[in-house]
Each structure stands twice: as structure tokens, then as C-alpha cells.
Structure 1
Amino acid sequence: MRGKFITVSSVLALLFACFLTGTPSAEAQDSSAPSGEEAITPFLLPDAGPFEPKSLGEQNTAAITAWLKGGHADATAEAFTHWDDEGAVPPNCSVCHAGAGFRSFHGLDGSEPGLPEAPIPAGGVVDCETCHNDGLASISELTLPSGVVHPVVGVEAACMTCHQGRAAGVTVENATASKPDDTVDAELRFVNPHYATAAASWLGGYGGAGYHYPGKTYSGRFFHARPVASCVSCHNPHSLEVKVETCATCHDAETPEAIRIRKQSYDGSGNLSVGIRSDIAANAQLLMETLVTYTGEVAGTALVFEPHYPYFFADANGDGVADQVDGSSVNYAAWTPRSLKAAYNWKLVTADPGIYAHNPHYALELLYDSIEDLAGATDSVDFDSLNILR
């Protein structure tokens, strides 16, 4: 599949043919290849085990169609193509970026649980057996990056294995321990919580994903309201789309983004006609602005964010554009413990585009505390005048 673009309709056609005949032979695939082009062998489903295409039956076509439209099946996405040049996914990355790596990590393939012993061949996706393996029911708990051991039931084990992030507040605490808050430290590096951290957001302060400021309390797991009790309460397990009808049970809003949890303004705008998502986005932007001000004033070198690793880059002249050397942005290297804590929380909140539904309270708390801490160390930010709420 790498290097080729395949439409959903063409994949569906091939997949449905597999229901009755099994995986097409190499000869059959070659005969259907466009003239002058090599045959395309798409990654569809495992070629062995209980989830072979020929064993699924026509009754499962709706689920498979939904899966093909979702991000878990998108073999062209960066999440699955990042390692194409190397040809294999490193063991620690394969746990979430290849179905085979996930099964190896949990011992669902007959191996001992733990990281795969060798890299996993590139080209896999989150396939059927990732979430439908019978052994998934035997997983009763997961250890989060914070060290918290969290109980799981059924398919929740699959969701939370890969959406818990790769770092936690304790990671930042350990990196900054005993270091002066406002002194630039060349040993400090940005701590990346990773991506799509929905489970980390959902567990809130209990899961310890964010950096928690001393003396502050944080909302725990967002239990929402019945019947919302798990990931699949709100998301179609195959397409990953939000079940908007579930939201409408309690919320009078046209879209989930328009839902407002309380009749008070958290961003100081006083606008209560928009969803809480707007307040979170505004406070995230305010945190970034405060972070830029702090790094320019206190660290001596301002930072800027760019949407690629390692995300934060130097802006020595303060023009809002990353400094360049040989055409590449200069990595930010003037971290202080205070700026690192705030930047981590900013990235954690913004790494989950659905945090307004997963745990809006926790998001607002992390943003507020980070802004307050930075503002207190600058001369030009009057925190009280911001009128934001926690």
C-alpha cells in the first residue's frame, strides 16, 4: 500500500469479494492491476486467525465499512507511514502503531507480555484483531505513564493502551526537580505527552497526565452521566465518529462542540452563547501568549510553536518567527523549569482535540494554573486583569 493511494470504494470491492472466496491469489490480484502498473495488495485484515476475511460473513459488512472510513484503518496516515523508509516500526512505537505490536505487547499472540523483541514490519494498522482478540478480556489493568494502575474491562484495554500518552506530570517533576524555577538549564528538554491523549484527559487528575502545581487540586476522571461510561458510549467503535444522538439525550445543542457545561465565562470574554470548547481554546491561546512573554522576558530567548517535532523553536529577536539555520528552525534550548511545566500542560491539552468533551474541567484547571504561574514571574502580565476562571 505504501506509495499508492487506494479509494475506499476499491478497497470495499476487494474486501467484499473476500467474504466468499478468501484472500485473492497473487494471480487474481495481478490480473486486476491497471495496465502498466504493479498490482496493489492493500492491508485489509490479518491473513490468519479468527478474523480472516472469508470467516467474517456478509453480516459484518457495515462494521467493516465503518472501520475503513475511520482513522484506525487509514494506512496512508502519518501514524502508520512514519516508518516506511525504515521498513519496520520500533518495538516501543509498534504497540500502538501496528496491530501486531499491540498483540505482542499484551501477549495476545502467544508471546510473553511486554514490548516486542524485534521491530514490527511497517504497513500495519489498527486491525480487527486489535480490538476483537478473545484474549483482550483477560487484561484487567493498565499501568499509566504516571505510575497509576488503572482497571480496565473489555475493549477499554485497547482504547486506553494507546490513548494514555507517553509521559505524565511526574515525568516533568523528575526533569525539573531541585532546579531553580526561573534559571535557564541546558539539560532541560521539552517533554512531549504524545498525541491523541483522550484517555489521559478523561482520567484527569486521578490519572496524573498533567503537571499538577503544588497546593492545587484537580478534577479526577470525568464520569459524565449515564449511559456514558466508556469510550464506545460516545464513539462508534469502528468509524470512531461521535454518537451525536447520545449527546442529545441531555444537551440541547446542535453539535457536541456547541455544548456548554456551565453558565459562566472561563476565558473572560463573557460570551455564554458558545460551547465550552471555545473557552478552552481561548485559554490555551492565552497560555501560549503568556509563555512567549515569559520566555522573552525571563529566559532571554522567546519561543515559538510550529506543528512538527520538537514543536518549540527559538525566536531570539522576538519577531514571532523561528530562527533559521541552513533552512531549518532552531530548536528551543532556553528552558527553565517554569516554562517547561507550562509548555507541557499546553501541549497535553491541545493534543486532545476532544478534551472539551473528555474532561473540560481538567483542561481549564491545567490552563489556568499554568497561566497564573507564568504571569507571576513576569513584569508585563497582570494576571488579575485577565478575568479568567478556573
Structure 2
Amino acid sequence: MKNLKLIGFLMIIASSLMFIQCTSDPIAGPQGLAGADGIDGINGVDGTNGVDGMDSTASCVACHSESHRGPVEASYKLSLHAMDPLHTDRGTGDLINTSDYTNRGSCAQCHTSEGYIDYVSGFPVAPGGGYPDDLSYDYGKQTISCNTCHSSHSSFDFDNDGQDFALRNVAPVTLVYDDVTIIDFEGTSNNCTTCHQPRNSYAVPAGIDDYAITSSRFGPHHGPQSTLLEGILGANIAGSEAYPGSGADGDNSHRTGLGDVASNCVSCHMGTTTDENDGLHSMWPTTNACTACHTNGAPTEVSGYAVDFETLKGLLIAAGSLTESGSTVSGTYPIAVAQATWNWKTLEEDKSNGVHNPKYAKALLKNSIEALQ
């Protein structure tokens, strides 16, 4: 009996040892089925998916690419600014080159690339904003190039700060004429005003006393485009034709724009072209810019301008202050003759046939003619 109990006890111990061995060293079975996917994460506060960010180089590539650069360079070759070799002025038929005056310090600020860069950088500075007489840029022909007008962006936040196209100047321009008068075309067109303004060589004739013309270059040499557009710096002789006022307050839609149509140097001279011979960087006014307002076609001159222009020229030749070629004659003249001469030279140098400021151009011509008749 005792033996049977002993045998039973030994069997229980053996079974326990077998159970411990199986559970302490299991044999891996086949992999079970994959569990269900977890719940998607929660989207943002507005419950929508995020939006991919814009390529960081996209705004740069829009301009800084060969596909953009090619048409710009081709267009610029049509410009009178490029002029190397000589180009024919479409207005006068003359062969001209902007870099003919590299040896004259007073001309360098607009006729040479290096001179312009120095000028807009504020160095050197002379009374009236010009150059000292002894400063010369004698480095051969310095044709105006891309680098003349363009340098680096003042800001890359175009959405908030505006696109300045890396122009060297977009700020309001203080005229060299008197170092006081300011013209502000509000943006990129200010870069044009930097050069397209009268020099400080001669004062606009005023008062009642006789006036001495001392040079064959008397007048607003060479660029009164900005001042005519602004409606200033003509000799406003009293007469039957009213003057339209000046600046943004003047009656000149070519200065202020009309409705939603912008109007400034850039919008008219650098607009989209239809035949690749104008607009863009050629600087030749585009028909598209004109027909936005002039739906019957782009005018080439102010009505009656050519007749009045030649009439005034004839009167000045008779008065002795002007030659057939359009040069002024040194001498002392009655104030009306000097003022009329200034006005004719202003319109001649402007070269827009009065289009820059039709009402102002008409008043300058009509009232000058009346004063001499």
C-alpha cells in the first residue's frame, strides 16, 4: 500500500516538471491575422487638410530664367537706350547714341552706365544735384545696359512691399533743376524720371524784364518728359488757353490714369506688345496702352499740334531767337520772346507731339503764339 502511494506521488512530481518545461520554452507558431487599422488622427482646427507650400524659388524663376530673359534682351535691342551701334530716332530720323558724351562730367549721370550708378547712389554730389566740372568718365562708350537700371531687390516680400524689379530707384525724384521740386510717379516710373528731367542749366524765363539767352542749347536740355507729364516748368504765359494744373491734381489723364486704367511711364512705354516692335523693354509706346482709352485708335499727336508747333517756330525765327535748325540764338530778348522760345524748346525736347500732356502742351503753344502776335 505504501508503495502505491509512493509511486503516485512520484508521478505527480514528474507531471509538474513536464508542465514547467513546456511553458518556459515555447515553440513559435504561425503568425496571426493582422489587427484592424487604428483611427485616423484629427485634422487641424478648421477640419481640413493642410495646403502644400509654394516652391520657394517660384517667384524668383518667374523673372530669373532664360525663358524670361531672352525676350527682354531681344526687346531691349530696339530701345534708344541700347544704341550700340547707332540707332535711328523714330521721331526725328536722326542717328543718335546715348553714350556720345562720356567725357563730360555733367552729362555722365545719364549718358554713361557708371555715371548713372554713381548718381543714384548719391556720389558725387554737387550743387543742383549734378557733377563737378572736373569729374570725367573717360572710359569709352558706356552704353546703358541692364545693370545700369537694375541692381538688387530692396525686399523679397513682394505681396506686402510691392515688386520693385530690382530697380536702382523707385523713390520720388528731387529735380536737379532747383534741387527742391519733387516728382513722384509712385513706383517704377520714378526710375525714368531720374534722367528724363531738365538739367539745371537755365532758368525758366519769368517776370517782365528782358531776358538774356546765352547759348545755342537754351531750354530744358534734354529731358522734359517727366516735367511736361507733371504739368510743370513751362513758361506759363497768360492767354486764352487755360492751363490744366499739375501733378495728381492736374487735368491730365496721361498722368493720373482714367478709371481702372493705370497711366504712367511704364504702363504706356513698357506694355504688352502685339508685334514685338514696341512696348516691353523697347520703351516704344504700345498701341495696346492707348486703345484701352482711345477705342477709335491711338493718336500720334494732339489735335492741331503740328500746325501750332510750326507756327510758333516761324514766329521765333522772325524774332531772331531761333534758327531754322531749331538752335537758339544768343542775345537779349523781350520776356515774351524768351518765354515762347523756352516753351517751343520744351515741346521739341519732349518729342511726344504733346501726347504726354495734351492740354498743357496746347496751352503752351496757343498762349505763346498769342504773345508774339
Report if TM-score (shorter chain) is over 0.5: yes
Q: Is the 8 A contact 1:201 1:355 kept in 2?
A: no
> In the TM superposition, what is the alpha-carbon distance from 1:192 to its structure 2 partner?
1.8
Is 1:82 aligned to 2:100, yes or no? yes
TM-score (norm: length of structure 1):
0.58
- CA pair 284-116 structure 1, distance change in 2 beyond 3 A: closer
- CA pair 125-96 structure 1, distance change in 2 beyond 3 A: same
Q: Measure the CA separation in 2 of the matches of 1:61 and 1:124.
A: 22
Is 1:211 aligned to 2:235, yes or no? yes
1:249-296 CA distance string (max 9 Å, x none): 221334332xxxxxxxxxxxxxxxxxx534111111121223344x2x
- Other-structure match for 1:253: 296
> In the TM superposition, what is the alpha-carbon distance from 1:63 to its structure 2 partner?
0.2
1:339-388 CA distance string (max 9 Å, x none): 1111110111122221432111100011111111111xxxxxxxxxxxxx
Cα RMSD, aligned residues only = 3.0
Q: Measure the CA separation in 1 of the matches of 2:189 and 2:357.
A: 17
Q: Measure the CA separation in 2 of the matches of 1:63 and 1:189.
A: 40
Q: Is the 8 A contact 1:211 1:366 kept in 2?
A: yes
- Other-structure match for 1:57: 66
- Other-structure match for 1:325: none
Q: Helix, strand or coil for the counterpart of 2:173?
A: strand
- Other-structure match for 1:285: 310
- Other-structure match for 1:161: 194
Aligned residue runs from structure 1 range 303-342, under 5 A: 303-307=322-326, 311-312=327-328, 331-333=329-331, 335-342=333-340
Q: Is the 8 A contact 2:183 2:230 kept in 1?
A: no
Q: Helix, strand or coil for the counterpart of 1:211?
A: coil
Q: Helix, strand or coil for the counterpart of 1:357?
A: coil
TM-score (norm: length of structure 2):
0.61
- CA pair 346-115 structure 1, distance change in 2 beyond 3 A: closer
Q: Helix, strand or coil for the counterpart of 2:302?
A: helix
- Other-structure match for 2:14: none
Q: Is the 8 A contact 1:244 1:256 kept in 2?
A: no
What is the identity, as a one-letter code, of the residue corresponding to 2:203?
A: T
Q: 1:233 aligns with which of 218, 243, 267?
A: 267
Q: Measure the CA separation in 2 of the matches of 1:235 and 1:303.
A: 31
- Other-structure match for 2:365: 367
Aligned residue runs from structure 1 range 259-298, under 5 A: 276-293=301-318, 295=319
Q: Helix, strand or coil for the counterpart of 1:358?
A: coil
What is the identity, as a one-letter code, of the residue corresponding to 1:131?
A: C
- Percent identity between matched residues is 23
Q: Measure the CA separation in 1 of the matches of 2:333 and 2:130.
A: 32
Q: Measure the CA separation in 1 of the matches of 2:200 and 2:306.
A: 22
1:55-113 CA distance string (max 9 Å, x none): 86353010001001211100234343533xxxx432221111112111100118xx566
- Other-structure match for 1:195: 222
What is the identity, as a one-letter code, of the residue corresponding to 1:150?
A: I
Q: 2:171 aligns with which of 140, 149, 153?
A: 140
- Other-structure match for 1:171: 203
- Other-structure match for 2:117: 103
What is the identity, as a one-letter code, of the residue corresponding to 2:145?
A: D
- Other-structure match for 2:35: none
More divergent stretch after superposition (213-222 vs 156-165): 213-222
Unaligned runs of 5+ in 2: 1-63, 87-95, 155-166, 271-279
Q: Measure the CA separation in 2 of the matches of 1:209 and 1:187.
A: 17
Q: Measure the CA separation in 1 of the matches of 2:338 and 2:263.
A: 34
Q: Measure the CA separation in 2 of the matches of 1:202 and 1:179.
A: 29
Greater share of residues in helix: 1
Q: 1:126 aligns with which of 115, 136, 144?
A: 144
1:217-243 CA distance string (max 9 Å, x none): 443243242423321101124111222
Q: Is the 8 A contact 1:167 1:192 kept in 2?
A: no
1:132-165 CA distance string (max 9 Å, x none): 2236466522122254122354432321011112
Q: Is the 8 A contact 1:130 1:158 kept in 2?
A: no
